[in-house]
Structure 1
Amino acid sequence: MKILLMCAAGMSTSLLVNKMKKYANENGYNDVIIEAQPIEDLEKYVDDYDVFLLGPQVKYKEKWAKQIIEAKGKKYTTIPIQVYGLVDGKKTLELALQLLK
């Protein structure tokens, strides 16, 4: 599974990506690829990922992102601000996994 976190510039989200990767490795999710990119680059990456997680700081772009992602038959959600603020890699990864069930 390939997960892409979308944010404003990719900086703060990279901390969350690292925590997600650590949790994934510690819990046997060896086939998970997790990366972060600015939401402005969504159209470049939409074909390459299975699940998209939007950071709370780009919620204002959700309608635009939803059209692009769902047109490709893929799933997305916005990361809750509490989860994002705590840099909770476990909850964020679980959020992504739930989208594919």
Structure 2
Amino acid sequence: MNIYLVCNAGMSTSILVRRMQEAAANQKLDHVEIEAFSVEILDEKADMADIVLLGPQIRHMLGDVRKLVAGRCPVELIDMKDYGTINGQKVLEKALKLIN
């Protein structure tokens, strides 16, 4: 299962990814891969995504990203509070709920 976090440069989400990976490991979710990268790289990876989560700083690109993904998987915004507090557990829970 591939959870992709997308932001402007792929840097600001890296700490959140680590927290999400820790939460997944604690839950023994070995089948979950979590990765962050810039929105420019998404077109190369969209076919492998089970969900795409956008950082709040690029919320204005939500419609464009949904068009790019073309319904192959859910595309949602990361909650600003969860992003700001780097709540990996909560973002992971949201992603898994949206996938299922």
Pairwise same-fold verdict (TM > 0.5): yes
Q: Which residue of 1 aligns with 2:79?
A: 80
| Equivalenced residues, count | 100
Q: Which residue of 2 aligns with 1:65?
A: 65
- Normalising by structure 1, we get a TM-score of 0.94
Is the 2:47–2:72 Cα contact (8 Å) retained in structure 1? Answer: no
How far apart in 2 are the matches of 1:61 and 1:28? Answer: 33
How far apart in 2 are the matches of 1:100 and 1:14? Answer: 21
Is the 2:5–2:36 Cα contact (8 Å) retained in structure 1? Answer: yes
Q: Which runs of 5+ in 1 are unaligned?
A: none
How far apart in 2 are the matches of 1:95 and 1:9? Answer: 23
State the Cα distance separating 1:22 from its structure 2 match. 0.4
RMSD of aligned residue pairs (Cα, Å): 0.9
Is the 1:6–1:38 Cα contact (8 Å) retained in structure 2? Answer: yes
State the Cα distance separating 1:73 from its structure 2 match. 2.0
Q: Which runs of 5+ in 2 are unaligned?
A: none
SS at match of 1:12: coil
Q: Which residue of 1 aligns with 2:4?
A: 4
- Normalising by structure 2, we get a TM-score of 0.95
Following TM superposition, where does structure 1 have runs of at least 4 consecutive aligned residues deviating by more than 4 angstroms?
A: none
